[in-house]
Chain A
Amino acid sequence: MFTALLIEQLLNGLQLGVMLFLMAAGLTLIFGVMGLINLAHGSLYMIGAFACATVAAATGSFWIGLIASLAAAAGVGAIIEVAVIRRLYDRDHLDQVLATFALILILSEGARWLFGSFPLYLDIPPLLQGAVPLPGGGQYQLYRLAIIGVGIAVAVGLYLLISGTRLGMRIRAGESDREMIGALGVDIGTLYTVVFALGAALAGLAGALVGALQSVQVGMGEPVLILAFVVIVIGGIGSIKGALVGAVIVGVVDTMGRFLLPSMLALAMPASQATTIGAALASMLIYVVMALILAFRPSGLFSAQS
């Protein structure tokens, strides 16, 4: 029974990691290509979730909702990029932080205006309801497995995109030498908008997928955004590979910590105390891991700039 529980928790960790990867990949891409720190990335996640929940409720189809989430997040991302973000590329980090912080305020309050303060709910599509048996007894939600699958597919897709396509070549050129791609005759403005919209779409996808597991509400993006920052810090800014490895580390460490720490502490202290202390320590665990990794590698595991 313990084995089954362990496998289940590992899968949960992986699922969290995959979702964080969708967020972190966009953030790290945007930072790598445009040198921009985007605090409003969590808002795009929220937009994806709201779009999916609203459209799914109206049409009765999760899948149309999913497409809507991609379109809405990419669309809002592109609008934001053109209206605000492109004025920030040659500004310092302080201006970027402030302007994207302002965007969070606008988008969060805007969402509250449109959708109200009550959470929306999104059902798991019928196709993915149910569970699959795990080795050692126990079952696992099919939908969560599907999220893991989507994450792996996105990781492979991004790899192919960046290593094998014209757009990818331009992205790589943009990461290594911004002036060169201008000289190559690439329209940088369009490239940046496309990259930003791509990152936004990934965040929107993550929001929509998670929307069926949790409630959809204003402010849902920020905790995920901060975890995605931890992922990027661990993985190394600008590195997609780093984002993947960092996301899996954070997802698994966080989930396993919450699962294992209370029971490990229970060996040494009364159970009730072990639960509270274990939970409190587990909530800090990934930050401790981050600190340890930084102590040895100040620019992350796969730093693009080293």
Chain B
Amino acid sequence: MSRETTINLLFALLLLGAPLLAAGMGEPFYVTLATRVVVLALAAVGLNLALGLGGLLSFGHAAFFGLGGYVAGILATHAFNAEPLIAGIPATTSMPLIWITAVVVAGLVALPIGAISLRTSGVYFIMITLAFAQMIYYFAISWPAYGGEDGLSLSVRNAFPGVNTAKPLPYFLICYAALMAALLLFRVVEGSRFGSALQAARQNGTRLAAVGIEPFNIRLVAFAVSAMITGLAGALYADLNRFVGPSMMSWHMSGELIVLIILGGKGRLFGPVAGAMIFVLFEYVLGGITERWQFFLGLILLGIVLFARGGLLGLLSGKPRHV
């Protein structure tokens, strides 16, 4: 087992063990905090597929995160009011159905955005993904049917067959399972033919085209899959907070997702997990000391970018192995 695998395993156990312990000690707050780590990590795992493997610096992934959230919020609201969605299709409070819808919606929105954005590269790509996310953000703000600027509150957490989702620990376990599934998917895709092509597209798009594989098609599919995972995280986040609002889609959120990946280690399997743990820890510890914790987060982030590239996992497990 490589050193990185051992460290990954430790992170996975720590992330599972800490909330179990907290629940045992009757501290549900820490369980919820751990759930926040898990859901943010899941969102960043999605982005890591595009950014880490494909080198696609999307500054608009908050849009997919928010879309997933709104799917959960809108379906739950309709179900609560017993209103059908459109054309008589009934809404639902079943998490699995909500997740599928969130994933499909995120993917369908990502395809046209990706198709336009991926015609460009570099700084253009960053700015255009940011702009499209902002478009969806403003749409959410100005569309009053689902709360507009105020967002939507979910009166109860949605349901999962056989699990009491209202309790913190069962809900944590659901999210944890989703994160592990996403990490497994990431690892499998990374080693697959598609993953090879995607990584080659990042390293040298011309080389990929010269052997007859269109980098555009590979990148577009990666962008969509990446958005789908982040969309799933958004649905879980809405249920975690029992609230969804435009702030989930703000450019600030997009920036934070990138920050999570970089704090942990770009392109590494557990980079987003480590990054989310550090981030939420910062937020909690620094936030407990000072209201101005983001000021210090900025300083720390600046220090990491300027002086400690490679993130926490880079620090712990050295250079990534070559394959």
Contacts and interface: CB of A to CB of B under 8 A. Distances in A.
Direct contact of A and B (CB under 8 A): yes
B259 interface: yes
Given A110-B295, A280-B139, A99 B130 contact: no
B120 A84 contact: no
A102 B301 contact: yes
A226 B131 contact: yes
A249 interface: no
Nearest to B145: A276
Contact of A291 (B116, B258, B259, B301): B116
A229 B117 CA distance: 14
Contact of A105 (B119, B131, B266, B301): B301
A193 interface: no
Interface in A13-51: 31, 37, 39
Interface in B111-162: 116, 119-120, 122-124, 126-128, 130-132, 134-135, 138-139, 141-144
A98 B301 contact: yes
Interface string A95-119: 1011101111110111011000000
B292 A109 contact: yes
A104 B130 contact: no
Contacts of A97: 57, 59, 126, 255, 258
Given A93-B126, A112-B292, A237-B123, A103 B131 contact: no
B299 A283 contact: no
Contact of A93 (B122, B135, B292): B122
Nearest to A108: B294
Interface string A195-213: 0000000000000000000
A71 B276 CA distance: 39
Contact of A101 (B120, B123, B127, B301): B301
Contacts of A98: 258-259, 262, 301, 305
B24 interface: no
A234 B134 CA distance: 16
B302 interface: yes
A284 interface: yes
Given A31-B123, A93-B122, A109-B292, A102 B305 contact: yes
A289 to B, nearest CB: 11
A284 B302 contact: no
A58 interface: no
Contacts of A280: 139, 142-143
A106 B128 contact: no
A283 B127 contact: no
Contacts of B134: 226, 287
User: For chain A, which range describes its interface: under 10, 10 to 19, 20 to 34, or 35 or more residues?
Assistant: 35 or more
A287 B57 contact: no
Interface in B236-291: 251-252, 255, 258-259, 262, 266
A122 interface: no
Nearest to B131: A230
Contacts of B88: none
Interface in A257-306: 276, 279-280, 283-284, 287-288, 290-291, 294-295, 298-300
| Interface-central residue, B123, B251, B259, B294, by most chain A CB under 10 Å | B123
Judged by DSSP, the binding face of A is: helix
Given A108-B294, A113-B295, A298-B120, A99 B306 contact: yes
Contacts of B144: 276
A294 B120 contact: yes
A276 B144 CA distance: 7
B126 A37 contact: yes
B316 interface: no
Given A222-B251, A226-B130, A294-B116, A237 B124 contact: yes
Interface string A220-231: 001000100110
A233 interface: yes
A285 B137 CA distance: 13
A300 B142 CA distance: 28
A101 B131 contact: no
A299 B262 CA distance: 28
B299 A106 contact: yes
A127 interface: no
Contacts of B255: 39, 97, 101, 104
A171 interface: no
| Interface-central residue, A95, A109, A276, A284, by most chain B CB under 10 Å | A109
A237 B259 CA distance: 25
Given A98-B259, A98-B305, 5 more contacts: A31-B123, A94-B51, A103-B302, A105-B295, A287-B135
22 contacts: A37-B123, A37-B127, A39-B255, A95-B305, A95-B309, A99-B302, A99-B306, A102-B298, A102-B299, A103-B302, A106-B299, A112-B292, A113-B292, A226-B251, A230-B127, A232-B127, A283-B138, A287-B131, A287-B132, A294-B119, A298-B119, A299-B120
Interface of A: 31, 37, 39, 84, 87, 93-95, 97-99, 101-106, 108-110, 112-113, 222, 226, 229-230, 232-233, 237, 276, 279-280, 283-284, 287-288, 290-291, 294-295, 298-300
Closest 4 CB pairs of A and B: A105-B298, A109-B295, A287-B135, A106-B298
